[in-house]
């Protein structure tokens, strides 16, 4: 403010200084020897213009300063209002939380009173006896309450918070402990699986024993009539297994919303014992799996690890054995969370090394980002190494009996798959600055064009089968007229209308009848009903994670 006043005083003194300058200029002109071209009027106009310009700018600066001060005042007012609103919300939240706590305590007290009355030996006829029994039950810990009453307490104070809005049928299935009906309901609503999955944890709260319900749903995971080697060909069984995994995951979600005491009551020792028995039954079956054939997407290994993580029984199994199962589920999106739940985070560098050595560079990059190991395992180096491996030719064992053209097609297909996987990985982890995708996109388009050109050339060179005649005899030989006593008309009739037995013969087509159905309809007609339409078995390596 003082600086502004000093500037204003200096600007006011300009008039007197201009007058002094005029006198000095007049005196100079009186002593001049020659006539000056510069006139005083011009100088005076110049100085007055400078004075007006300075005053105008000074006025603008003052206005901007006032506007800035007004904005500061408004901002302070807004901040104070927001602070008051936050404080008000905090107080209301605390009040609501306190009310819920009071309701929970009241519900537990009511449940304890209901529990004590059937076990009462003496008649509760007097006030003294009732008070004595109440004090007895209040002195006992919450672990004394059976599992069923604990679940009733949970439902009584959580039903007002969480509701199953879209699929109320889930509540009845869980209340009835109907695991088979739950499987069927999920299969029937497979088109809206995401919405069903969100409501299952809330529906499980209404079950008498959610943990037992989930364990009951695991029946049939290993059917006795299906061989382990043939399991991945059964679409219904694959769907059932995916549903089992999803239900265990939903139970884990439910457990994260409960307090520690409720979790210990829900996953009791008897439940853990049953889960251990199932895990010990499943463990030897994992040794019979073909690790290479699963390609990091083993449902069996995933279900086993999810069973240990959900019910907290991983300490009963050898950690080294669990560590060896991680590469079998490296493609699945839940792998990182499973490793953290099972306490295998420190072993991740070794897992990533195993994946790289087995050619699963994409899975290695995903786990490196999940566990913040990108400094030790460079994602760009891993992706480039993966593309280099894909550009190499097929192995001698695979290409020994194949023609050079077939071998080259295999290499091109392998490169196409690798390029798509690398581009998706770069986009998922935002690595465009470190590894530009434009050259990869151009290479991808080039390979797809070459593949399409080769396919068109093969279709043109392929001989087309002859069409059958209108009389459905195809290109079969005519029936010779061997009867010597037939007249001319009879012979002509025999040639034009062959005997009936010719029509009874099956016709031979140049290729299998499956070729007469468009290839893009094949999978639609081959899928079985039930889970098969929902859980398919085909997958490509470029998919980063799979459910």
Domain ranges of the chain: 18-110, 345-393+411-453
469 has pLDDT over 80 = no
Q: Following DSSP, what letter does each residue of 294-325 receive, concatenated? A: HTT--HHHHHHHHHHHHHT-GGGS-HHHHHHH
Given a cut of 70, is residue 237 above it in pLDDT?
Answer: yes
**Nearest Cα to 438, choosing from 423, 416, 450?**
423
Q: pLDDT-based confidence at 383, cuts 50/70/90?
A: very high
Specify whether the CB–CB gap between 207 and 175 falls below 8 A: yes
Share of the chain above pLDDT 90, in %: 35
Q: Which residue has the higher pLDDT, 387 or 163?
A: 387
Look at residues 228, 238, 241 and name the one whose alpha carbon lies nearest to residue 307.
Answer: 241
Average pLDDT for 9-29: 76
Q: Tell me which residue of 367, 377, 368 sits closest to 333, measured CA to CA.
A: 367
pLDDT at 310 over 90: yes
Q: Is the C-alpha dihedral spanning 278, 283, 288, 291 positive or negative?
A: positive
Question: Nearest Cα to 209, choosing from 256, 270, 288?
Answer: 270
For residue 146, pLDDT beyond 60: no
Residue given tokens 């459905």 in the structure block: 472
CA–CA dist 63, 54 (Å, integer): 14
Cβ neighbours of residue 435 closer than 8 Å, sequence gap 6 or more: 379, 380, 383, 384, 426
Which residue would you say has higher pLDDT here, 166 or 267?
A: 267
Hey, what are 178's tokens? 């109907």
Question: Alpha-carbon distance 134 to 128, whole Å?
Answer: 10
* pTM of structure: 0.55
What is the predicted pLDDT for the residue at 404?
63
* Residue 234 tokens, joined: 């059964």
User: What is the per-residue pLDDT for 107?
Assistant: 84
Alpha helix stretches (DSSP H) within 295-433: 299-311, 319-325, 335-341, 348-357, 361-370, 379-391, 396-399, 404-428
283-320 burial, b at 16+ Cβ within 10 Å, e below that, comes to eeebeebeeeebbbbbbbbbbbbbbbbbbbbbeebeee
H or E element, residue 276: helix 269-286
Least confident of 178-192, 242-256, 303-317, 387-401: 387-401
Give the per-residue pLDDT at 18: 78
Q: H-type helices in 218-268, by residue range?
A: 235-256, 260-266
Q: Which residues of 13-32 are buried (b: 16+ CB within 10 A; e: fewer)?
A: eeeeeeeeeeeebeeeeeee
For range 22-41, the mean pLDDT: 67
Q: Check the CA dihedral 218-221-222-225 and report its sign.
A: positive
Phi, psi of 546 (to 5 degrees): -130, 150
pLDDT at residue 414 tops 80: yes
CA 312, CA 329: separation in Å to the nearest integer?
A: 19
CA 135 to chain centre: 52
* Contact between residue 372 and residue 355 where contact means Cβ atoms under 8 Å apart: no
- Please state, in angstroms and as integers, the Cα–Cα distance from residue 403 to each residue in 118, 393, 396, following that order: 83, 13, 12
């Amino acid at each position: 403010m003082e600086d502004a006043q000093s500037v204003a005083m200096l600007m006011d003194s300009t008039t007197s200084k201009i007058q002094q300058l005029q006198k000095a200029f007049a005196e100079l002109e009186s002593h001049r020897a020659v006539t000056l071209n510069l006139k005083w009027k011009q100088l005076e106009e110049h100085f007055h213009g400078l004075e007006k310009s300075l005053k105008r700018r000074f006025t603008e600066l003052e206005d901007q300063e006032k506007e800035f001060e007004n904005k500061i005042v408004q901002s302070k007012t807004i901040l104070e209002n927001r602070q008051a609103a936050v404080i008000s919300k905090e107080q209301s939240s605390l009040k609501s939380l306190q009310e819920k706590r009071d309701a929970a305590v009241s519900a537990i007290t009511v449940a304890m009173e209901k529990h004590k009355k059937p076990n009462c030996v003496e008649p509760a006829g007097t006030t003294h006896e009732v008070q004595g029994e109440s004090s007895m039950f209040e002195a006992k810990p919450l672990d004394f309450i059976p599992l069923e009453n604990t679940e009733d307490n949970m439902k009584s104070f959580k039903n007002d918070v969480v509701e199953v809005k879209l699929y109320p049928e889930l509540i009845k299935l869980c209340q009835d402990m109907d695991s088979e009906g739950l499987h069927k309901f999920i299969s029937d609503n497979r088109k809206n699986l995401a919405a069903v999955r969100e409501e299952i944890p809330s529906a499980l709260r209404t079950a008498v024993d959610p943990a037992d319900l989930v364990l009951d749903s695991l029946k049939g995971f290993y059917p006795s009539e299906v061989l382990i080697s043939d399991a991945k060909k059964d679409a219904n069984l694959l769907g059932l297994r995916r549903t089992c995994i999803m239900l265990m995951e939903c139970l884990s979600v439910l457990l994260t919303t409960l307090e520690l005491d409720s979790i210990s009551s829900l996953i009791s020792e008897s439940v853990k014992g049953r889960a251990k028995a199932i895990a010990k039954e499943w463990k030897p079956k994992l040794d019979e799996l073909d690790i290479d054939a699963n390609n990091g997407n083993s449902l069996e290994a995933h279900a086993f690890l999810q069973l240990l993580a959900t019910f907290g029984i991983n300490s009963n199994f050898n950690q080294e054995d669990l560590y060896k199962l991680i590469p079998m589920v490296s493609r699945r999106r839940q792998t990182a969370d499973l490793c953290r739940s099972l306490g295998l985070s420190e072993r991740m560098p070794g897992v990533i090394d195993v994946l790289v050595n087995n050619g699963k560079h994409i899975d290695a990059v995903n786990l490196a980002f999940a566990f913040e190991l990108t400094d030790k395992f460079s994602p760009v180096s891993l992706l480039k190494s993966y593309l280099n491996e894909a550009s190499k030719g097929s192995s001698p064992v695979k290409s020994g009996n194949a023609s050079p053209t077939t071998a080259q097609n295999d290499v091109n297909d392998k490169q196409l798959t690798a390029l798509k996987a690398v581009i998706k990985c770069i986009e998922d982890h935002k690595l465009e600055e470190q590894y530009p995708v434009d050259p990869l996109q151009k290479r991808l388009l080039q390979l797809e064009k070459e593949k399409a050109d080769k396919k068109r050339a093969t279709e043109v060179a392929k001989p087309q089968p002859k069409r059958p005649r209108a009389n459905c005899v195809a290109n079969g030989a005519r029936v010779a007229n061997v009867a010597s006593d037939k007249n001319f008309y009879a012979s002509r009739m025999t040639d034009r209308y062959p005997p009936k037995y010719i029509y009874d013969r099956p016709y031979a087509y140049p290729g299998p009848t499956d070729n007469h159905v468009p290839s893009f309809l094949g999978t639609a007609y081959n899928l079985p009903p039930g889970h098969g339409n929902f859980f398919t078995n085909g997958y490509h390596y470029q998919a980063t994670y799979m459910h």
